Homo-oligomer: A and B are copies of this chain.
Amino acid sequence: MSEAAELDVTPSPEPVIPVRDEDEHLNPDFIAAVEAAIGGDDRVALKELAGDLHEADTGDLLETLNADERAAFIRLLGDEFDYTALTETDEAVRLQVLEDLPNEVIAEGLEDLDSDDAVYILEDLDEDDQAAILEELPYADRAQLKKALDYPEESAGRRMQSEFIAVAPFWTVGQTIDYMREARDLPDSFYEIYVLDPAFKLLGSVHLDKILRTKRAEKVTSIMEETRQAVLATEDQEEVARRFERYNLVSSAVVDENERLVGVLTVDDIVDVIQEEAEEDLRALAGVGDEEISDTVVTIARSRLAWLVVNLGTAILASVVIALFEDTIEAMVALAVLMPIVASMGGNAGTQTMTVAVRGIATQELGARNLLRVLNREILVSAVNGVALALLIGITAWLWFASPGLGVVIAGSIIINMLFAGFSGLLIPIALDRLNVDPAIASSVFVTTVTDVVGFFAFLGIAALWFGLPF
């Protein structure tokens, strides 16, 4: 009987309406209930529904609500609103919410957060608002946040949390455990503790599971992993992300230029960086920048237009090449019908190679050591696929226009363009990278220019020569 009683873990009451549906989207019924509670100014119902949500769910919920509802939501929840949720919304929503809140209220909300979350919320505000909010914070918090905001954007110093547990090298495991039981201002969650020398220099780290497995009398230094290479606070977050990923890290100490421990990075912040990085390449290749689903028409139109105008240059250049052959086309209109095929096949093949090259550079799988091997392979792949496509297209053109000559001409120009596509698809990203230009952003314009110009020039030029047409 007594054991059964022990097992009786009282479950917290299940929410009546599930927060997410089967596809893990926010449940429309749940959203409707929240909106009803907001509309009816019903503090009790809203707290019941949303007071206990995970910050990520609250963030998604804020994105779904409109601006007025967001303000009312935060006002009605009052102290139960967890400002961490603002780190889970996209930037446009975050800025709108902060815009509508008085600075004292924001300051009060930030006080309870870990420093990394507070910095994340503050960093996109303009300097005046930042200063005004910092002014409202207690001295220690303010100094800590100011210091973090002094690190460059997208640096480890901006992403780290300044709360950590550090012990002296002569402490035992037992002392360390006792300290953690008594200490008050511990970070929200942590995975390792750090060992510092008297000058606050980082000596090493101890994973919590090691502490738990070790007898109380042991010295922490005996189970400590020595720090070989700590993250520098000024280091770029992408470099740090690559190291987390490569070495499967869960957290890492961050030090200043004097090797003194200043903070801790945890993998949950880094996961976002890793995903952003892969996504950045995708967006850059398509020319869409870092727009967000909640951005305005003007912001989006402007950022996309730049890319379109650059590509317009490419398109006009291709037209200039075609214009060289106006007389040729006039003499044989079938050439105008077929010429886009040559350019488009080259463009597609070039994009394939380029995508592999851009990701290879980003993940450091492609470098000087294997460049020749990969180039060799790309040329072979282009040759193989060029011949295959040339046969397919050559026969199609021959049958369509009942002209074997036209089949030969298009087949030859396809092979030429495919080779240029493979060559430029690999070498243009690499050259841009050497010149310190982001290959993801700039490559596709150049590669398309090559495949368009070579495609039209080869096809129309060979045709003019083969058929003895004017040009």
Contact = CB atoms under 8 A, between A and B. Distances in A.
A184 to B, nearest CB: 10
B291 A315 contact: no
Interface in A281-315: 281-283, 285-288, 291, 293, 297-298, 300-301, 304-305, 307-309, 311-312, 314-315
Contacts of A366: 293
A198 B351 contact: no
Nearest to A327: B333
Interface stretch (A127-135, A256-264, A341-349): A341-349
Chain A, interface size category, equals 35 or more
6 contacts: A9-B169, A245-B272, A312-B345, A322-B340, A329-B336, A344-B452
Interface stretch (A36-44, A95-103, A146-154, A205-213): A205-213
Nearest to A214: B181
A283 B319 CA distance: 30
A162 interface: no
A308 B349 contact: yes
Q: How many copies does the complex hold?
A: 2
Given A278-B279, A293-B370, A288 B356 contact: yes
A6 B470 CA distance: 91
Nearest to A282: B282
Contacts of A177: 212
Interface string A22-50: 01111010010000000000000000000
A431 interface: no
A250 interface: yes
B326 A337 contact: yes
A375 to B, nearest CB: 12
Given A190-B209, A333-B329, A369-B25, A311 B345 contact: yes
B242 A7 contact: no
Interface string A353-365: 0111001100011
B309 A181 contact: no
A305 B345 CA distance: 11
A212 B182 CA distance: 10
A425 to B, nearest CB: 10
Contact of A377 (B12, B300, B341, B384): B300
Contacts of A7: 169-170, 197-198
Contact of A207 (B3, B189, B308, B369): B189
Contacts of A316: 341, 396
Contacts of A267: 250, 267-268, 271
A400 to B, nearest CB: 8
Contacts of A298: 384
B381 A300 contact: yes
Nearest to A243: B24
Given A190-B209, A308-B349, 10 more contacts: A180-B213, A191-B191, A191-B250, A274-B275, A285-B286, A288-B355, A288-B356, A293-B360, A297-B381, A304-B381
A344 B311 contact: yes
A64 interface: yes
B198 A301 contact: no
B56 A312 contact: no
B12 A309 contact: no
B319 A246 contact: no
A92 B213 CA distance: 39
B56 A247 contact: yes
Contact of A340 (B24, B198, B293, B319): B319
Contact of A385 (B301, B333, B351, B456): B301
A377 B11 CA distance: 45
A181 B174 CA distance: 13
B25 A308 contact: no
Interface centre among A209, A214, A354 (most CB of B within 10 A): A209
A308 B250 contact: no
A83 to B, nearest CB: 15
